[in-house]
Structure 1
């Protein structure tokens, strides 16, 4: 099987460009794997917040603030980048800001008490905001590279590369953590080092993207005179125009629902594993490593499968699997049982995220990719507020009982399944191509 079959690419697109694009997923996945999922999340709740009942809420609140910022600014940035053909330039700036603020997380153990919590929340807000900008901007390159029939494959390559990058970064961090623990060093010593490793991997790997991925878009006439006010007006027009694309709008609603559940898994898996199931930090890192391996397999495999059976059917299957994950995770008490849930979650995570991005590329009008992917980013960030924040609130109200919260998360995936039903991919693609004429 050819890794990058030419038939999946648009005319004139070289394989090196696709590799460069996929390398950005490789680069930024270390951030979500180490900072958001495996290491800093558990350190924040268990060490900085001292395991207080409000710890999970404070963690999810900091993420929600970042997602709210992105939700209201990314569509405008997407419109501005479309008008000026500046997706790559903005991507470079967002990457630099995320790398620097991630490295700055190494400073949090130097503070104490509430000051340490406040500093960590501030840096998480900043780093996650710029990470999210980069994620949305790189997604907007997808339809420029892949054909409509090949978007599932190409999107799957990106997610698979991403999980490999996440595993590599996490593996390096795990090696250091095991060495540090053998020396009797506390988390306040080895967690800052993992932040520096993550920042370095992100910055170095992203250079491949900047070197190989061209900006294929062309600026509109008089784009040099376009102001942010013009971008806001275009954003409002985009929302109005998007309402005419019913299948795209149903996809956005579906995304808000199911991505809320996925966000819970990404942001709280380590917290749940350590505080409810009893995992130790090094066991959690091994668990997340395995989860990323399963996610890479799921993203790559389902990337090919969804182009054969259809994006909608593929996404439906993964949402059913997510429901099973929530029910298993909320019921088991043993580490082995939780490992089973994590394995299914890994396969589902890669495939559901890959399918959602590919469906967006199919249903978005070709001349408004940055803007419509900005709307998709709006939906995913809204989901990332609703899912984790509701989890944190439910946990706090339940006196720290996270099993109640994980069972409640099942409802988000059920809602996603129901909202997926009205989508007709063929009709939506015809509407998107018609808008370009």
Structure 2
């Protein structure tokens, strides 16, 4: 048995779990970060001044739906031991709705918004569910590195989808095609790669949790509400988890703003073309993969909280460089620092929640983590979007204000006691 994996977990199963990160990263890379967001503003919204705000509002709506549903979906998955079945449903939804984005073109705002909202809702639900498998497949002392394997492998999946899109865009532009012609094809490529790459997850990943209700009990949504209500009543027992979720809310707001609006910032503030932006995101995915893999091991040696603190200071450095950049060289440096920190901070956050979650409520507590992440994904991009709108398109100021979220995250992180939180998680198990 590999020393990093829990008893009974094989390398093939760990690979199958990591393959889901590989599969779903194409969606965030191509749709949210590199291609469709800029396409939405420039083509679907036809370059209108409200385009960036419309994009961030659509993303915010999808996150509101995730915030409302994530803990309940997790509580249901815990009660009936059905994480894998719910993961399959969310995956099918994301694949189909991503393919639906191919229907979006100039002036088709309603179509674009509907499919963005639905695809991102399904993506976020699946992201929470796959994370809940992490404590089942990794040993406690190796949860950081195993989380890093998933994130590192995931960015390679983003590279595959982005590379395929870049290759097609280069060919299409050489043929004289417009964005309205080649971006829809990129959406179909992304959906197809997500579907194919996720197959190992559903073939080899095991559902190890056990139903927590009496045999023969009927499935009911009321069970999920009851379990979540119990968690709310007992919230004081998990004060370190609550503090970490508040920390997550802050630093992930900064990350979300950078990830969601990177292509728009590159286009509006740096004058990048679509092809330039794709190349930039391609390189950033490489550095993010390296950051997730490297810092996964650092977490297990240096400590999860110390590692996360280090990466948040890295994010502040990145914000300063992006704000100061007057041309591509400094901006490229800032973007690659963001890549290193992105892989490290996201891997660390997922591992910390795994340590603070009670074993019988992992899906529910990862749902709470997902709730915090998605709320942050409203706050960060909306702060950026509103700042840009109110300042008549001052993207540099919007980027600078984004840095305040990392400062708040650092202040809250200093109050989290991981050992105390772990004791609370195991107290009633």
Smaller-chain TM-score bracket: over 0.9
How do 1:271-282 and structure 2 match up within 5 A?
271-282=264-275
Q: How far apart, in 1, do the equivalents of 2:278 and 2:153 lie?
A: 19
Which of the residues 261, 267, 288 maps onto 2:254? 261
Match of 1:126 among 97, 118, 125: 118
Unaligned runs of 5+ in 1: none
Checking the alignment, whether the CA contact within 8 Å between 1:238 and 1:372 is kept in structure 2 is no
TM-score between the two structures when normalised by the length of structure 2:
0.98
CA RMSD in angstroms comes to 1.0
Whole-Å separation in 1 of the counterparts to 2:173 and 2:197: 28
Contact 2:102 2:188 in 1 (8 A): yes
Distance 2:166 2:296 in 1: 29
What is the match of residue 58 of structure 1? 54
Structure 1 residue corresponding to 2:74, chosen from 78, 81, 87: 78
Q: Does 1:16 align with 2:12?
A: yes
Greater mean alpha carbon deviation, residues 358-367 or residues 236-245 = 236-245
How far apart in 2 are the matches of 1:256 and 1:229? 28
Which residue of the other structure, out of 313, 332, 350, is the alignment partner of 2:306? 313
Q: Structure 1: how far apart are the matches of 2:67 and 2:255?
A: 17
Residue pair 2:80, 2:213 contacting (<8 A) in 1 also: no
Structure 2 match to 1:299: 292
Matched, 1:141 2:108: no
Q: Tell me which residue corresponds to 1:396.
A: 389
Residue in structure 1 matched with residue 344 of structure 2 by the alignment: 351
Q: Aligned-pair distance for 1:343?
A: 0.8
The Cα shift of 1:99 comes to 0.1
1:183 alignment partner in structure 2: 175
List per-residue Cα deviations over 1:157-196 (Å, max 9, x = no partner). 0000100000011001100000000001000111000000
CA distance in 1, matches of 2:330, 2:47: 24
Over residues 75-98 of structure 1, what are the superposed CA-to-partner deviations in whole Å (9 max), with x where a residue is unaligned?
101111111100000000000000
Match for residue 37 of structure 1 among 33, 37, 40: 33
Compute the displacement of 1:390 (Å): 1.2
Alignment of 1:106 onto 2:99: no
Shift >3 Å, 4+ stretches: none
The match for 2:109 is 117
Residues 242 and 248 in structure 1, CA contact (< 8 A), matched pair in contact too: no
**Equivalent residue number for residue 204 of structure 1:** 196
Instruction: Mark the runs of 5 or more structure 2 residues left unpaired by the alignment.
Output: none
Match of 1:342 in 2: 335
Whole-angstrom CA distance in 2 between matches of 1:319 and 1:422? 15
What is the CA-CA distance between 1:275 and the residue it aligns to? 1.1
Measured against aligned partners, the alpha-carbon deviations of 1:93-129 in whole angstroms (never above 9, x if no partner) come to 00000000000100112xx42xx12211111000000
8 A contact 1:39–1:191 mirrored in 2? yes
Match of 1:386 among 379, 391, 406: 379
**Partners of 2:257 and 2:28 in 1: CA distance:** 12
Match for residue 89 of structure 1?
85
- Give the CA deviation at 1:222: 3.0
How far apart are the structure 2 equivalents of 1:243 and 1:41?
40
1:238 matches 2:231: yes
Q: Does 1:213 align with 2:205?
A: yes
| 2:405 aligned residue (405, 412, 421) | 412
Q: CA deviation at 1:15?
A: 1.2
Q: Deviations over 1:18-61 (max 9, x none)?
A: 10000000000000000000000111111222222211111011
Question: Counterpart of 1:220 in 2: which secondary structure?
Answer: coil
- Counterpart for residue 150 of structure 1: 142
**Which among 65, 73, 89 is matched to residue 69 of structure 1?**
65
Q: How far is the alpha carbon of 1:238 from its aligned partner?
A: 1.5
Asked whether 1:431 is paired with 2:427, we answer no
Q: Which residue of 1 aligns with 2:318?
A: 325
In the alignment, is the contact (CA less than 8 A) between 1:91 and 1:134 conserved in 2? yes
The answer to whether the Cα contact below 8 Å between 2:129 and 2:363 also exists between their aligned partners in 1 is yes
Q: Of the candidates 273, 280, 284, which is equivalent to residue 277 of structure 2?
A: 284
